[in-house]
Amino acid sequence: MHVQRVKRLPREVRERQILDAAVQVFSRHGYHNASMDEVSEVAGVSKPMIYAYLGSKEDLFGACIRREATRLLEAVTGGIRVELAPDMQLWHGLGAFFRFVGEHRESWQVLHRQAISQGGPFSDEVLAMRGRAIALVDALLVRTATKRGLDEQATRATEALAAALVGSAESLADWWLDHPDITGRTLASWLMNLVWMGFGDLVEGSVWTPTND
């Protein structure tokens, strides 16, 4: 008789609708302030469907995180050419990272802010992803360092440096939200100069030490 508001859609499509809505809502209000009601409203899907397809709120949030984390990792690794030199790999990776963040602010918010601030499995998951990123960077550093010869102190420091680099990138991505006139490419370039050259000095034995302490 009357038009049905939404047609019967295949499960796959419904799930995507729901996840899109959830990412949007979670990024806007944070995990706890987000209500399943709003998600269902934004998704145009009734709540029971959400539970049927994606489980509890926690499950839903987890699904969001996994999807966005995967997207981010794919974007970054997809931007890297393994046949290039380490510095160029890093360069492309950073470029891909900033490009992704620029184009998917909501995804980034969910990953960087919401997920980490929740204790337990969520932050674990994101921190694991960050760990993979750090390991990736560390591998590049080690590869370079080993080529040139790596002294004791530098060896032990590479992982920390990788962590610092990843942290820098994350922090710059945040900072970027308030300075949108800069291009992502510029950000990547700054970061390369800062980190790579400092790292190079380190490897070459040029070390900063406190004058007296």
Partner DNA sequence: TATGAATGAGCATTCATTCAT
Partner DNA sequence: TATGAATGAATGCTCATTCAT
Residues found near DNA in the complex (CB under 7 A): 4-11, 14, 33-37, 45-49, 51-52, 56-58
CA separation, residue 176 to residues 1, 109, 171 (Å): 53, 12, 8
User: Which of a second copy, DNA, none sits in contact with 128, Cβ below 5 to 8 A by type?
Assistant: none
User: Which of a second copy, DNA, none sits in contact with 30, Cβ below 5 to 8 A by type?
Assistant: a second copy
In angstroms, give the least distance from the CB of 59 to DNA: 8
Does position 117 interact with a second copy (CB under 8 A)? The reply is: yes
In angstroms, give the least distance from the CB of 140 to a second copy: 14
Work out which of 29, 47, 143, 148 binds a second copy, going by CB under 8 A: 29
Helices (H), 34-177: 36-43, 47-54, 57-78, 86-103, 105-109, 116-117, 121-148, 152-177
Give CA angle at 106 (101, 110), nearest 5°: 100
Cα separation, 34 vs 37, in Å, equals 8
Does position 148 interact with a second copy (CB under 8 A)? The reply is: no
Q: Which of residues 48-77 bind a second copy (CB under 8 A)?
A: none
